[in-house]
Amino acid sequence: MNALENYYEQQEEPTRTCLLAVRTIILNYDKDISASWKYGMPFFCYKGKMFCYLWVHKKHKQPYIGIVEGKHFDEPFLIQEERSRMKIMLLDAGKDLPLKTIKAVLKKAINLYKTGVVKLKLAHLQKVDTPNKSLSTLVKK
């Protein structure tokens, strides 16, 4: 069992079932979404760029979806706390998931990448010398 699978397995019920259901919803939302283990957490990438993750809130003891580019969201149910960039959506593991709301958040998050508000990785970068002796810049190849 790898670290990603182990993370879900070590959660207690009903949190485990909730996280696994949300994982399925996220992975089935778009063919370009993939799951990965980054920073000791289950992350989801859109075309290789991290866009959300799953975790359990330490204080509230509730599972949540973390939106990497949450600063672009103004929905009142998304919580920023002490984060400068990310916002979270708390989930009640004992209730039915708010599927419509989850899908709306996923759509908005992915659209940030599709519309170019958040840039996907540049294809190739190379170092270029500039006329200014000590400066170098990165440009597209």
In the block, residue with structure tokens 């440009």: 139
- Global pTM value: 0.81
| 3-state SS string for 54-68 | EEECCCCCCEEEEEC
What token pair was written down for 35? 């799951």
Burial of residue 14, with CB atoms counted within 10 A of its CB: 0-12 exposed, 13-18 middle, 19 or more buried: middle
What token pair was written down for 22? 């949300």
Residue 132 pLDDT? 45
Residue 84 pLDDT? 85
Domains delineated in the chain: 3-140 (3.90.1150.200)
Q: Which residue type is seen at 98?
A: P
Give one DSSP letter per residue of the chain, joined into a string: --HHHHHHHTSPTTHHHHHHHHHHHHHHH-TTEEEEEETTEEEEEETTEEEEEEEE-TTT--EEEEETTGGG---TTSB-TT-SS-EEEE--TTS---HHHHHHHHHHHHHHHHTTSSPPPPS-EEEEE-SSTT-EEEEE-
Walk along the chain (141 residues) and give the pLDDT tens digit of each residue. 798 899 999 999 999 999 999 999 999 999 999 999 999 999 999 999 999 999 999 999 999 999 999 999 999 999 998 888 899 999 999 999 999 999 999 999 999 999 988 887 654 334 444 444 433 333 333
